[in-house]
Amino acid sequence: MIYHTMIVSFDQPPHETELDQYLTDIERVMLDSGLVRSVVTRRHLPVPGEEAIPALIASAIVQVAVADTEALAKAFTAPGMHEVIEHWQSRHPYKVAWANHEPLV
C-alpha cells in the first residue's frame, strides 16, 4: 500500500463552508473512482507567525491510500476528477504539493 499525501494551499483562503465543500468533493470523487482504499481530509491548523515563513503553507491536507502506483495513476484519471479540480481552481485558485510514500507508522 502507498499513500498519496497532498498539501493544498489556496491563494486566498476560501470561507470555511467552501473549504469543507472542496474537501467533500475531493473525497467523493476519489472514493467514487473505486480505486482508493481510503481518503482522509483535514484542515490545516495555523500557528501564529507561520505566514512569515517563505514556504507553501497548507489550507488543507488530503491523504489517499491506494494499493499501488498503478491504482494511484488511474485514480487521477477517473471520471469527474478533472471536473472537480477545474471547478475549484476556477473559483479559488490553489497550489498543491504532494508526496507518495509508504505508511509513516
Residue 55 to residue 33: CA distance in whole angstroms: 32
Query: What's the full length of the chain, in residues?
Result: 105
Name the burial class of residue 74, with classes exposed (0-12), middle (13-18) and buried (19+) by CB atoms within 10 angstroms of its CB.
middle
Question: Mean pLDDT across the stretch 73-99?
Answer: 95
pTM attached to this predicted model: 0.91
Start-to-end CA span in the chain (Å): 13
Residue 44 to residue 36: CA distance in whole angstroms: 23
Cβ neighbors of 24 (< 8 A, separation 6 or more) are none
In this prediction, what percent of the chain has a pLDDT beyond 90? 92
pLDDT band at 14 (very low <50, low <70, confident <90, very high): very high
Spell out the alpha helix ranges (H) of 5-54. Answer: 16-32
